[in-house]
Every structure is written in structure tokens, then in C-alpha cells.
Structure 1
């Protein structure tokens, strides 16, 4: 076999094996990169929710961590702070919806989204939050508004 034939054989080998392997490697790297980006987005959103909970703790007089809400009447200033905090929460939920939610989610994305849905369900169970929702959802993304409204309706029908 001459050097030219060996070189030609090697070029065929690269074309038949190397090129598909390079494409496969590229596709796998892209998938891994996308997964890392999704996890980073989820982590940033989780950090923002943790910061939100710190805000709730800083305003403990509003009793926002109680499931049933406040049993006593709030002052006008407290009502205003509560509405502002609910506004921050809706903004965070909308951002999570826009960045994470998809109609056809893979298993990993579904797991990440499920925690956000749990948070939303927890909040829409509160009557004070539900009462504020119409005002809070004004101007928000239509699909998000529909989604959280459906969650609220489901939670209200639940025993």
C-alpha cells in the first residue's frame, strides 16, 4: 500500500467515523450547556425567593408566613406594605413562569417547575393574597395570569 492510499484510507476513516463523532459530541455539549443554563436560572430564582422570604421575615407584623393570614385588622400602612410584598411575589412568580415553564417539559425541567408551582399553590390558598390577585395581575403576562388563576381555582375547589 502506498502512502497516498494510506492517506486516502485515513481520510475516509475520518469522514466515516470522525465527522459523525464530532457532530454527536457537539450535540451532547449543547445539551449539557443548556441544562447548566437552566439550573443556573433555577438557582438564581431560588435565591430571589429566599431574599423574598427574608423580606417577609423583616415584615413579621404582617404575619405573611401564617397559612391563614392575619386574624386582626391591619393598619393602612400595613396593608400597603402587604400589597407591595405581594407585588414583589407576583413579579417573582411571573419571572419563574416565563423562564422555567414550558408546555412540554422534560423530567428535569418538570422537577424544577414543580417547586415553583408548590410555592404558587401555597400562596393562592391565602384569602388575603387571592383578594389582592386581580389588582396584582393587571398588566402581567396573559399566559401567566391564566396559569395562576387556574391554580387559584383548583385550590379553592380542593377540600
Structure 2
């Protein structure tokens, strides 16, 4: 076999084996990078929710962690603080919706989204949160508004 034939044979090997392998590795790395980015986004959002819960704890006089019973009577200043906290929460929920939610999500993304759906349902069970939604949703993303309003409607009826 001459040197020219050897080089020609090697070019065929690269074309037949190397090129598809390179494409496979490229696609695999792209998917891996996308998964890492999605997990990083999810982690950042989770950290923000944890910070929000710390704020709720700092303002325990508002009784926002109370799961049952009617909302307590709050004075004007407490109502204002509660409104600000609800505003922060809606902003966080909208950001999670815009960054994580898709109509046709892969399994892993659906698992990440489900925890946000659970948080939204938990807050939408609160009568005072549902009552504040029309004001809170003013100017927010329309798809997000429809999504959380549907959840609020579902959670307003006793199970």
C-alpha cells in the first residue's frame, strides 16, 4: 500500500467513524451543558425562595406560615408588609415560570417545575393570597397570570 493509499484509507476512516463520533460527542456535551444550566437556574431560584422564607420568618407577626384558619387581623403597617412580601413572592413565581416552565417539558425539567407548582399551590390555598392576586398580577406575563389563576381557582375549592 502506497503512502497515498494509506492517507486515502485514513481519510475514509475519519469520515466514516471520526466524523459521526465527533458529532455525537458534540451533541452529548451540548445536552450536558444545557442540563447544567437548567440545574443552575433551578438552584438560584431555590436559593431565592429560601431567602423569601427567611423574610417571612423575620416578619412572623404576619402569620404567613399559618396553614389553617382564617387570616389574622392585621394593622395597616402589617398589611403593607404582607403586600410587599406577596409582591416579592409573585415576582419569584413569575421568574420561575418564565425560566423553567415549558408546555412540553422533558422529564427532568418537569420534576424541577413540579416543586414550583407545589409552592404556588401552597400559597394559593391562602384566602388572603388569592384575594390579593388581581392586584399582584397587574402587568405580569399573561401566560403566567393564566397559569397561577388556574391554580388559585383549583385550590380555592375544598378537596
TM > 0.5 between the two? yes
Counterpart Cα distance in 1 of 2:158 and 2:74:
28
In the TM superposition, what whole-angstrom CA distance separates every residue of 1:89-116 from its partner, at most 9, and x where no partner exists? 0000000000000000000000000000
- 1 CA distance for matches of 2:72 and 2:80? 16
The unaligned stretches of length 5 or more in structure 2 are none
Contact 2:63 2:72 in 1 (8 A): no
Counterpart CA distance in 1 for 2:69 and 2:44 is 28
* Aligned residues between the structures: 159
| 1:112–1:95 Cα change, 3 Å | same
TM-score (structure 2 length as normaliser): 0.97
1:126-141 aligned within 5 A: 126-141=126-141
Q: How do residues 45-60 of structure 1 correspond to structure 2 at under 5 angstroms?
A: 45-60=45-60
CA shift, 1:157, in A, is 3.0
Asked if the contact 1:124/1:155 (under 8 Å) is kept, the reply is yes
- Measured after TM superposition, the shift of residue 4 of structure 1 is 1.0
Q: What 5-or-longer segments of structure 1 have no aligned partner?
A: none
Q: CA deviation at 1:156?
A: 1.9
Name the counterpart of 1:81: 81
Q: Is 1:69–1:128's contact at 8 Å kept on the other side of the alignment?
A: no
What is aligned with 2:112?
Answer: 112
Q: Which runs of 4+ in 1 moved over 4 A?
A: none
Q: Distance in 2 between matches of 1:70 and 1:88?
A: 22
Kept after mapping to 2: 8 A contact 1:63/1:70: no
For the aligned residue pairs, the C-alpha RMSD in angstroms reads 1.0
Determine the structure 1 residue equivalent to 2:122: 122
2:30 is equivalent to residue 30 of structure 1: yes
CA distance in 1, matches of 2:45, 2:108: 16
